[in-house]
A and B are shown apart, each in its own frame.
Chain A
Amino acid sequence: MEKLDEILRTAVDLAAAAPAWLGDRRRAAAAVVEEGRLPTTSDEAWKYTSLKDISDQPYRLATAADALGFAEIDLTHFEHAGSDGPFAVIVNGHLRADLSRLDNLPSGVTLRTLASLSEAELGPLVSTLDGVESAAFSALNLATFGDGLLLDVADGASATNPIALIFVADGQAPLLSAPRIVINAGRNSSVRVIEQYLSVAGNCGLTNCVTNIELAEGACVYHHRLQDEAETSAHIGRIDAKVSSNANLHSDSVAFGGRLTRVDIEVALAGRGARCRLNGLFATHGEQHIDHHTTVDHLVGDTHSEELYRGILDGHSRGVFNGKVIVHRDAQQISARQASNNLLLSRQAEIDTKPELEIYADDVTCAHGATVGNLDEGALFYLRSRGIGNAEARALLTYAFAEQVIESIPLDSVRRAIEQRFIGHTDMSTLAQGIQP
């Protein structure tokens, strides 16, 4: 980032204004970024994703004042927030309480801004922030985050109503927004969180967000992430999750938006009986670029992971999927299944998909598979011979490909919203009248 130094100077100012201990953290993180700079395509993890477009942008760090330009929010794009569900609206990285509805959080759930926390409260979270500094963008987030949210779920609390966190990137100037989310799910608690990224048309900002999810023993977290920013913006996102024994993480990462999107999801299965299910769906067209890197770390035995990512690429767009599974020595009797299926709708589209297995134990069940294909000509002819027009037949088959991920999203309202959004994004107006008869 040519203008990186300017951003880092702002970070130093932020550090100076922060309490001493947080200031130290910020300075240390800024130093990591300054020393390591941003990754390039010679770094293995960034081989297929060039940050050149980002580097050329003269970003300015968004401040609380940048959150105020936005007068109201159009709820039509996230109907799953529903008429009765709680939601928080975060504009350019800063919570807009006036646009949010947080008086109806499920019992046992609290949502607070990181800025409102005392040192004693924020203290334990700092150690959570510690581990991820090595990745440039996590460090950059730590150095620059303007605000963040802490979602606490009490032991035993069961919150069936989803809580939506809606991040809006606003403004035509290139702003860097760095929100930070911490989700702490207490023992045997259950919570559903929707993390949705939107932007106002023409936005050319960069969202650099980090989400930490900690699941205590027996907790169950459904996390639905939807990246739907304008196709002029850039998005670097990260989820770090730690799953304790008998806890269960369900993660959906759906990405349709952004000119450049990179999402890293790292899950540590840290206790016996821990499970995770990672679903992904991305659809690109034009010049879009969407990159998912996932890592599932089986730290102990009797841990189980299942992963299904599907990509649909049209135009000159490009997709990347890298799915890493690590099974540590002595982590016996684990199971790990991973599939990456990709559909290329144009000759110019490209997908780079790579499963990466590092297995140091011997009593394991691991399976992985990656496929890349075009629409099935036989199926296309079959549909057309029945009287279905070419465009509709193609849309139907494309939808069917995505449906296999969409149908495994456990929350009806999210599933429906994604279905509609998918149809809109992939120009399937012929199907808009309803998928089911």
Chain B
Amino acid sequence: MLEIRNLHAEVDGNEILRGINLDIAPGETHAIMGPNGSGKSTLSHVLAGRDGYTVTAGTVHFNGKSLLELEPEERAGEGIFLAFQYPVEIAGVNNVYMLKAALNGVRAYRGEAELGAVDFLKLVKSRVKAVGLDESLLNRPVNEGFSGGEKKRNEVFQMSVLEPRLAILDETDSGLDIDALKAVAEGVNALRDAERSFIVVTHYQRLLDYIVPDHIHVLSKGRIIKSGGKELAHELEARGYDWLTSEAAA
């Protein structure tokens, strides 16, 4: 589904990604771990198509299509969803209105008819319950005045409505207490199925107790220096990152 080959990327002339190789098959959940500054968030943003990141080498294919040539909204149309580490507050834009525009944007990209107001609201109602988002937040401006937990839950809610093929969770655990973390993880787990894939970017092993990955990759200085199964998380928890980074440097 996703094939990353020798991906190099720069921000402001500094090389952050230095040759990433990664394959993700449908239905798989991959965790990307690593110390601060290892390039985890850069990888998320490059995949979602954010401005300001220059890919200097390598390729990314998503279901056979070259992803790097697509605009962010086209990538969303192809089925990529980025859950932000810091969801943006947008004053004056109604949460549900934004979601309707997003869903219909994605449907238009796929050549599907727009969803009518009634069907859309039905969908929203069912999903908002499933992820446990306070319904009163639906008609508020996007993320404005939301607590940290509400913002992350709103990301998962949007994900559940947009039904991506590949969801990238960028440090979704940051700033969450354990209850909020559990709730968000539950929402994510409910969306896991044989077709949908996830990339879970996190600094800590804690989130992976609740969203259990199939594979774990450790990123350091822009390269994957270690890959393994879910047990790798516990090893990292026990030993930290240093033994790996010094092993990689050796």
Mark out the residues of chain A between 377 and 416 whose CB falls within 8 Å of any chain B CB in the assembled complex.
377-379, 381-390, 392-393, 396-397, 399-401, 403-404
Q: How far is the CB of A404 from chain B (nearest CB, A)?
A: 6
User: Are B97 and A386 interface neighbours, CB within 8 A?
Assistant: no
Chain A residues, Cβ within 8 Å of B90 = 376, 379, 382-383, 397, 400
User: Are A404 and B91 interface neighbours, CB within 8 A?
Assistant: yes
Chain A residues, Cβ within 8 Å of B99 = 386
User: Are B73 and A435 interface neighbours, CB within 8 A?
Assistant: no
Cα-based distance from A389 to B107 in the complex (angstroms) = 12
Q: How far is the CB of B4 from chain A (nearest CB, A)?
A: 18
Q: Is A42 an interface residue (CB 8 A)?
A: no
Cα-based distance from A387 to B102 in the complex (angstroms) = 5
Q: How far is the CB of A325 from chain B (nearest CB, A)?
A: 25
* B109: contacting residue among A378, A387, A400, CB under 8 A: A387
Q: Is A19 an interface residue (CB 8 A)?
A: no
Q: How large is the interface on A (under 10, 10 to 19, 20 to 34, 35 or more residues)?
A: 20 to 34
Chain A residues, Cβ within 8 Å of B71 = 384, 390
Q: How large is the interface on B (under 10, 10 to 19, 20 to 34, 35 or more residues)?
A: 35 or more
Cα-based distance from A379 to B92 in the complex (angstroms) = 12
Mark out the residues of chain B between 11 and 70 whose CB falls within 8 Å of any chain A CB in the assembled complex.
48-51
Q: Is B84 an interface residue (CB 8 A)?
A: yes
Q: Is B216 an interface residue (CB 8 A)?
A: no
Decide yes or no: A390 and B73 within 8 Å by CB, A383-B98, A437-B94 being known contacts.
Answer: yes
User: Are B102 and A378 interface neighbours, CB within 8 A?
Assistant: no
| Bitwise interface map of B from 145 to 164 toward A, beta carbon under 8 Å scored 1, else 0 | 00000000000001000100
Q: Is B77 an interface residue (CB 8 A)?
A: yes
Decide yes or no: A383 and B117 within 8 Å by CB, A389-B73, A404-B92 being known contacts.
Answer: no
Chain A residues, Cβ within 8 Å of B100 = 437
Cα-based distance from A392 to B102 in the complex (angstroms) = 10
* A386: contacting residue among B76, B94, B120, CB under 8 A: B76
User: Are B97 and A387 interface neighbours, CB within 8 A?
Assistant: no
User: Are A437 and B120 interface neighbours, CB within 8 A?
Assistant: yes
User: Are B101 and A392 interface neighbours, CB within 8 A?
Assistant: yes
Q: How far is the CB of B139 from chain A (nearest CB, A)?
A: 8
Chain B residues, Cβ within 8 Å of A396 = 93, 98, 101
Mark out the residues of chain A between 54 and 106 whose CB falls within 8 Å of any chain B CB in the assembled complex.
none
Q: How far is the CB of A377 from chain B (nearest CB, A)?
A: 7
Q: Is B213 an interface residue (CB 8 A)?
A: no
Chain B residues, Cβ within 8 Å of A118 = none
Cα-based distance from A381 to B44 in the complex (angstroms) = 13
User: Are A403 and B120 interface neighbours, CB within 8 A?
Assistant: no
Cα-based distance from A324 to B167 in the complex (angstroms) = 52
Closest A-chain residue to B105, C-beta based?
A387
Closest B-chain residue to A389, C-beta based?
B73
Identify the interface centre among A387, A399, A400: most chain B CB within 10 Å of its CB.
A387
Identify the interface centre among A376, A383, A386: most chain B CB within 10 Å of its CB.
A386
Closest B-chain residue to A403, C-beta based?
B92
Decide yes or no: A386 and B91 within 8 Å by CB, A381-B50, A437-B97 being known contacts.
Answer: no
User: Are A400 and B93 interface neighbours, CB within 8 A?
Assistant: yes
Cα-based distance from A382 to B117 in the complex (angstroms) = 23
Identify the interface centre among B90, B99, B121: most chain A CB within 10 Å of its CB.
B90
Cα-based distance from A435 to B98 in the complex (angstroms) = 10
Q: How far is the CB of A125 from chain B (nearest CB, A)?
A: 42
Q: Which residues of B contact A (CB under 8 A)?
A: 48-51, 71-73, 75-77, 81-82, 84, 87-88, 90-94, 96-103, 105-106, 109, 117, 120-121, 141-142, 158, 162
Q: Which residues of A contact B (CB under 8 A)?
A: 376-379, 381-390, 392-393, 396-397, 399-401, 403-404, 435-437
A-B contact pairs, 5 of them (CB 8 A): A382-B142, A384-B73, A388-B101, A397-B90, A400-B92
